[in-house]
Amino acid sequence: MSRARARSSLGERVDALPWEDLRGQLDARGFAETAPLLGAEECAALADLFESGRFRSTIDMARYRFGEGRYRYFDHPLPEAVAALRTALYRHLAPVANAWAARLGGGGDGFPQGLGAFLARCRAAGQTRPTPLLLRYGPGDWNALHQDLYGEVCFPFQVVIPLSEARVDYEGGELVLLEQRPRAQSCAHGLTPPRGALVIFPSEHRPVRGARGDYKVKLRHGVSTLSRGSRTALGIIFHDAR
């Protein structure tokens, strides 16, 4: 398969996702899950980049008390598959981002339709470093609850794609989403998506309908402790970093 066809194929697969249903999931529970979008060979090729790809930074989580394990931020230019996914996903998520912003009292057209225009906004704010990353965990590794906010400009969604198969390649290692609801107990979701599937979730907060209208619920995410094996995942963050 040519590079151009591979890039087109990924964009077409993203376009073919059930976006009305995904938007319903996001509005109803704050996150959305898809069936596998990437095949086993595509996942393996992306996971192999952890050792052979071009990266601008490698983070040892224990050093910064972020947990245990490592993650690596891709450098420019992004791998073609990662760039294609980022561009296509942004195009479908921008209208949802604008709808959420309007529900929370902001402008309803604050996010441009194309990723290029949004990244230009990031550059104007001094955010020029790419943020898509690969994360790798081994036995005993985990990731503390956090938010991926890298500057003044922030896109309200991000995506994680497991590149390893749960209960085959590893045990444990759930994706944890924690909602911190005002004047109420926090609510945690533990997810084990299949290899190659997408989980879309908020970068910072989401709107929730209350008796007096919509209010903000803060969300953080992390990964529970692996008990066995190795877990690699691709993270797609749409805003760049300072």
* Domain extents in the chain: 3-237
Q: What is the pLDDT of residue 1?
A: 43
Residues 136-154 pLDDT 10s = 999 999 999 999 999 999 9
Residues in contact with 92: Cβ distance below 8 Å, sequence separation at least 6, in sequence order: 14, 15, 17, 19
Q: What is the pLDDT of residue 213?
A: 87
How far apart, in whole angstroms, are the C-alpha atoms of residue 138 and residue 100?
36
Q: What is the pLDDT of residue 5?
A: 43
Q: What is the pLDDT of residue 55?
A: 98
How far apart, in whole angstroms, are the C-alpha atoms of residue 34 and residue 25?
10
C-alpha dihedral sign at 104, 110, 114, 119: negative
pTM of the model: 0.94
Q: What stretches in the chain show pLDDT beneath 50?
A: 1-2, 4-5, 7
Q: Which helix (H) or strand (E) holds 21?
A: helix 19-29
Q: Which of 3.40.50.620, 2.60.120.620, 1.20.1630.10, 2.30.110.10 is the CATH number of 3-237?
A: 2.60.120.620
Q: What is the pLDDT of residue 108?
A: 65
Q: Encode burial over 200-217: b for 16+ CB neighbours within 10 A, e otherwise.
A: bbbbbbbbbeeeeeeebb
How far apart, in whole angstroms, are the C-alpha atoms of residue 238 and residue 53?
20
206 and 30 Cβ atoms separated by less than 8 Å: yes
Name residue 51's beta-bridge partners. Answer: none
Beta strand pairing call for 70-74 and 133-137 = antiparallel
The full length of the chain comes to: 242
